[in-house]
């Protein structure tokens, strides 16, 4: 399968060693001259989510300049094989960059360069320094000086969002996205741009830094001695330091990188022959094997990753939906691991990117994606019809937050067999709309957004009154009622929630008894509070509990008749 945009083709492919295949996206110019290839080494963790759209835009821009690019996931991350923690940043992730370079060289590209962002830049440089393959140029886009500095930054981000230390006594570090165990921490601490190594003598370097993350003079001196080109960017904060849905494309930096690489890359004399394979058989720990294939489905050509047993599947299709700040892999890759575990028990699942998010582009002519975009429901329904043409209702939807809303709406449309959701928004999110205004591109919008936020915090009773009025006047839009009505129509429902779901109006006493979200209110559907769970599933303990609960529920409700197998451990 391929998705073609004007003169550029995007193709998903598995590549690398059979024991641990890597998943990647090739962006290839279909017309004009060819000017070499680039491996794009992504950041790790939440920075990878934020940077996804930027790296895709870079790939498209490179494609227009005649440069083929390969974006990929390190093993144990994204869609690549393995569980997070089963591989180490060094040597494994550094080696994965080398494998990516090898893949492009074996296709006939004479010159292969690497663009790395953040920790990806650090590892890309070390890969170039250590490899015998020969890298033509390296772009270090806002690099982390070392693995230690990276851990410190992401660990601090997690700690400063909470009141508890995130460093375990066992040497582990919990971040917003992943729990880095002691072995991974030790491995990350080996990554260091200050290390003197065998520098690639014929390699060119472009070093792009930002003021709020300055590099030490020792590292800058290293790159001065390598005759690197230096640039400064002020676009990284708007790209990486906001919620992913609001991340802005660093267009000026993308153009700079493209121009610099074009200047380094003369036309190829030979025509490369790329072999792509959108299917793979993956080992799931020591528990068995599953099949995965990437596809573009439905009229909007939504990116879908389908996971299924090696031989035949049973039960309904499990459809895992992202929230607006995630891609199809889910919070901290939860959907990836859950879908693979479910496939071992015989289930087929689909992880979908709706248009404008993840690996699904927003098609030309469509308006920019909106939070709770109505188009997304249609897209999800269309994908389900593609995968289950004889009975589109034979699906179970899973989702978190806005993904849960999408799941509710799609389940309603299709009369789905099941609904497993976490922290669904149960009414209008007033604070969200205020936040949207705060992030407005216009000065007036931002000014009114700040005023409204201060007004809301100062007078929450007015907001609550408006909210209750809305609930009374528009009951059909009140999701708690929709969930109950789904159940009455025969959809199996399980709702998991965190205690902070009941903090919509923490300053307003007595409201929690009115708004129906109080934990003690009787509900017409199974509703469970999960200990240690936060709204975005950033805390590993709560996230693991959700995964286990979903597995038990899915197995006992939809798959127990066909198999007595347990779904296995989460990691």
Partner 1 sequence: MDSSVSAIRAILAAYGQLMVDIKSLDDHDDLYESGMSSHASVNVMLALEAEFDIEFSDAVLRRSTFRSVDSIHRALLSLGVDGPT
- The pair of structure tokens assigned to 444 is 């007036």
Q: Which helix (H) or strand (E) holds 152?
A: helix 147-160
In contact, 151 and 184? CB cutoff 8 Å: no
Burial label for 389, CB within 10 Å (0-12, 13-18, 19+), is exposed
Q: Which is nearer to partner 1, 239 or 383 (CB)?
A: 239
Closest CB 153 distance from partner 1, rounded Å: 6
Q: Taking a C-beta distance cutoff of 8 angstroms, is the pair 332, 543 a contact?
A: yes
CB nearer partner 1, residue 240 or residue 401 = 240
**Rounded least distance, CB 328 to partner 1, Å:** 25
Kindly state the smallest distance separating residue 424's Cβ from partner 1, in Å. 24
Neighbours of 286 (CB within 10 A): 6
State the minimum distance, in angstroms, from the CB of residue 171 to partner 1: 12
Rounded to a whole number of angstroms, the minimum distance from the CB of residue 51 to partner 1 is 14
Nearer to partner 1, 243 or 484 (CB): 243
User: In whole angstroms, how close is the CB of 162 to partner 1 at the nearest point?
Assistant: 6
Residue placing its CB nearer to partner 1 in the complex, 161 or 477: 161
Contact 67, 35 (CB under 8 A): yes
Cα–Cα distance for residue pair 340/82, rounded to 1 Å: 10
Minimum Å gap between C-beta 451 and partner 1 is 10
Sheet with 289-297, edge to edge strand ranges: 279-283, 289-297, 302-309, 348-352, 317-321, 395-400, 418-422, 492-497, 527-529
Cis peptide upstream of residue 501 (ω within 30 degrees of 0): no
* Distance (Å, whole) CA 297 – CA 377: 14
Q: Angle 119-130/147-160 helices, nearest 10 degrees?
A: 170
Q: In whole angstroms, how close is the CB of 216 to partner 1 at the nearest point?
A: 10
110 vs 153, beta carbon nearer partner 1: 153
CB of 211 to partner 1, least distance (A): 8
Q: Which two tokens stand for residue 79?
A: 């869609």
171 touches 179 (CB < 8 A): no
DSSP lists the bridge partners of residue 399 as 321, 421
User: Whose Cβ is closer to partner 1: residue 214's or residue 266's?
Assistant: 214
Distances (CA, A) of 7 to 4, 33, 127, 262, 348: 7, 12, 31, 17, 34
In a 10 Å sphere around its CB, with 0-12 CB exposed, 13-18 middle and 19+ buried, how is residue 565 labelled? middle
SS (H, E, C) 475-508: HHHCHHHHHHHHHHCCCEEEEEECHHHHCCCCCC
Which of 438, 565 has the CB closer to partner 1? 438
Which two tokens mark 317?
A: 């299709």
Q: Residue 190 CA to chain centroid, in angstroms? A: 26
Choice between 130 and 213, CB closer to partner 1: 213
Measured at the CA of 207, the angle between CA 202 and CA 208, to 5 degrees, comes to: 155
Minimum distance from residue 510 beta carbon to partner 1 (Å): 24
Compare residues 197 and 214 and give the one whose CB is closer to partner 1.
214
Comparing CB distances to partner 1, the nearer of 279 and 451 is 451
Binding residues (CB under 8 A) for partner 1: these are 153, 156-157, 159-165, 167, 212-214, 237, 240-242, 450, 457
CB of 208 vs partner 1, minimal distance in Å: 18
CB 416 within 8 A of CB 393: yes
Q: Which is nearer to partner 1, 438 or 563 (CB)?
A: 438
Q: Which is nearer to partner 1, 246 or 525 (CB)?
A: 246
Least distance CB 214 / partner 1 (angstroms): 8
| C-beta of 212 vs 251, nearer to partner 1 | 212
Crossing angle for the helix pair 251-264 and 46-64, nearest 10 degrees? 50
Q: What's the min distance (Å) between Cβ of 178 and partner 1?
A: 17
What lies within 8 Å, CB to CB, of 106 at 6+ separation is: none
């Amino acid at each position: 399968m391929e998705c073609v945009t004007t003169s550029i083709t995007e193709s998903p492919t598995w590549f690398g060693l059979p024991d641990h295949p890597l998943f990647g996206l090739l962006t290839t110019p279909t017309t004009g001259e060819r000017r070499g290839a680039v491996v794009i080494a992504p950041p790790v963790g939440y920075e990878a989510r934020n940077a996804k759209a930027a790296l895709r835009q870079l790939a498209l821009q490179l494609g227009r300049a005649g440069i083929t690019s390969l974006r990929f996931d390190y093993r144990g991350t994204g869609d690549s094989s393995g569980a997070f923690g089963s591989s180490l940043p060094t040597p494994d992730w550094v080696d994965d960059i080398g494998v990516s370079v090898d893949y492009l060289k074996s296709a006939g590209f004479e010159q292969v360069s690497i663009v790395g962002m953040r920790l990806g830049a650090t590892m890309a440089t070390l890969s170039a320094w250590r490899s015998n393959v020969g890298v033509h140029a390296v772009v270090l886009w806002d690099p982390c000086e070392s693995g230690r500095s990276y851990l410190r930054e992401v660990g601090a981000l997690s700690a400063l969002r909470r009141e508890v230390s995130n460093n375990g006594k066992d040497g582990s570090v919990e971040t917003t996205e992943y729990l880095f165990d002691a072995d991974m921490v030790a491995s990350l601490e080996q990554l260091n741009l200050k290390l003197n190594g065998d520098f690639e003598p014929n390699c060119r370097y472009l070093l792009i830094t930002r003021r709020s993350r300055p590099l030490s003079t020792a590292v800058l001196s290293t790159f001065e001695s390598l005759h690197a080109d230096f640039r400064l960017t002020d676009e990284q904060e708007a790209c990486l330091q906001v919620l992913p849905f609001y991340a802005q494309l660093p267009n000026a930096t993308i153009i700079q990188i493209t121009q610099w690489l074009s200047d380094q890359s003369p036309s190829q004399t030979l025509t490369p022959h790329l072999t792509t394979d959108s299917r793979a058989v993956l080992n799931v720990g020591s528990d068995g094997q599953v099949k995965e294939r990437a596809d573009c489905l439905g009229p909007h050509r939504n990116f879908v990753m389908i996971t299924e047993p090696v031989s035949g599947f049973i039960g309904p299709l499990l459809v895992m939906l992202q929230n607006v700040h995630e891609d199809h892999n889910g919070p901290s890759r939860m959907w990836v691991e859950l879908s693979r575990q479910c496939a071992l028990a015989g289930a087929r699942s689909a992880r979908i990117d709706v248009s404008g998010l993840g690996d699904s582009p927003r098609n030309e002519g469509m308006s920019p994606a909106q939070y709770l975009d109505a188009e997304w429901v249609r897209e999800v329904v269309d994908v389900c019809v593609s995968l289950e043409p004889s009975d589109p209702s034979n699906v179970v939807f899973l989702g978190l937050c806005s993904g849960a809303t999408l799941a509710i709406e799609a389940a309603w449309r299709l009369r789905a067999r099941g609904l497993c959701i976490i922290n669904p928004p149960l009414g209008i999110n007033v604070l969200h709309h205020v936040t949207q205004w705060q992030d407005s591109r216009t000065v007036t919008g931002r000014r009114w957004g700040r005023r409204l936020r201060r007004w809301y915090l100062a007078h929450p009773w007015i907001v609550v009154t408006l909210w209750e009025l809305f609930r009374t006047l528009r009951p059909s839009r009140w999701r708690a009622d929709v969930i109950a009505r789904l159940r009455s129509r025969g959809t199996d429902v399980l709702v998991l929630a965190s205690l902070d779901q009941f903090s919509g109006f923490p300053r307003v006493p007595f409201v929690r008894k009115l708004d129906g979200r109080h934990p003690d209110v009787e509900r017409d559907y199974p509703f469970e509070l999960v200990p240690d769970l936060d709204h975005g599933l950033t805390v590993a303990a709560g996230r693991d509990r959700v995964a286990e609960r979903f597995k038990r529920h899915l197995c006992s409700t939809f798959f127990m008749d066909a198999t007595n197998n347990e779904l296995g451990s989460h990691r």
